[in-house]
Amino acid sequence: MREGLKIPVVLLCGVVAGCTSSSSNYLGEITKTEETRLFVCHGFDCSYKTRVDLGAADHRQYASYFAEVGSAEAERVAVGRAVQHAEERAAGVIGIRDLPKSDYTQSRAKGQMDCIDESTNTRSLLLYLEKRGLLKHHAVEANRSRGLFVDGRYPHSTAVLRETGSGRKWAIDSWYEPAGGPPDIRLLDEWMASGRFGER
């Protein structure tokens, strides 16, 4: 009986490590936000880092999403469009499109992203937008995680924005859609309470 439990426990540990740990893969340039480039994590747990250079056309494109923003709600819509654009750019540079809801069977596959890759990439983009002064109604927070298997939830992480006026926090979660798909943007408290048995 005990022998039969070994494989599932090992597999579970591997999956947990892929979505809740931070490793040496997150040191160095990946931690520095610049206005001229972003590093995109992929392959799970940021196994690979691909540089995406940002030029004048990128700056104009991102700025266009925020040009007529007049409220926090409108700014979140603009953030969603910016995330979609960033993922399209990343897929073009990597040469591989990320599939939705990647799982541990795709570990180390170039271009495929677990929730750690996705949330890291989204936060890097949000920091870029913040650095360029495009976020007027939100501030970038640390990424957050939920789920421990024992509570019926797969370990999962998201990028987070704090609405400066109300103090409410919002999850910006792009894992459920393929590259370039619209991210889930929802109140962080709701996001933290959901996710049972694979639900959003």
Residue 78 lies in a domain: yes
| Token pair of 112 as six digits | 């495929």
* 200 falls within a domain: no
User: Structural domain tally of the chain?
Assistant: 1
Domain annotation covers residue 184: yes
Helix H segments across the chain? 2-20, 56-65, 72-94, 115-131, 188-193
> What pLDDT is attached to residue 19?
57
Amino acid at 8: P
With residues binned 3-state (H G I as helix, E B as strand, rest as coil), the percentages for the chain, rounded to 5, are 40, 20, 40
Residue 162 located in a structural domain: yes
* 39 in any annotated domain: yes
Per DSSP, the three-state class of 183 is coil
- DSSP class per residue in 103-128: -GGGTT-TT---HHHHHHHHHHHHHH
The pTM score is: 0.86
- What is the pLDDT, as a whole number, of residue 30? 66
CB neighbours of 154 closer than 8 A, spacing ≥ 6?
A: 15, 19, 147, 195, 198
For residue 199, is it within any domain? no
Kindly give, in sequence order, each residue whose CB lies less than 8 Å from that of residue 10, ignoring residues fewer than 6 positions away: none
Distances (CA, A) of 42 to 120, 162, 190: 10, 26, 27
Assigned domain for 56 exists: yes
Location of structure tokens 């409220």: 71
For the chain, 200 residues long, give each residue's pLDDT as a single digit of tens: 434 433 333 334 434 433 544 455 666 666 677 789 999 999 998 999 999 999 999 999 999 999 999 999 999 999 999 999 999 999 999 999 999 987 777 888 999 999 999 999 999 999 999 999 999 999 999 999 998 877 778 888 999 999 999 999 999 999 999 999 999 999 999 999 998 766 77
Domain that residue 129 falls in: 2-193
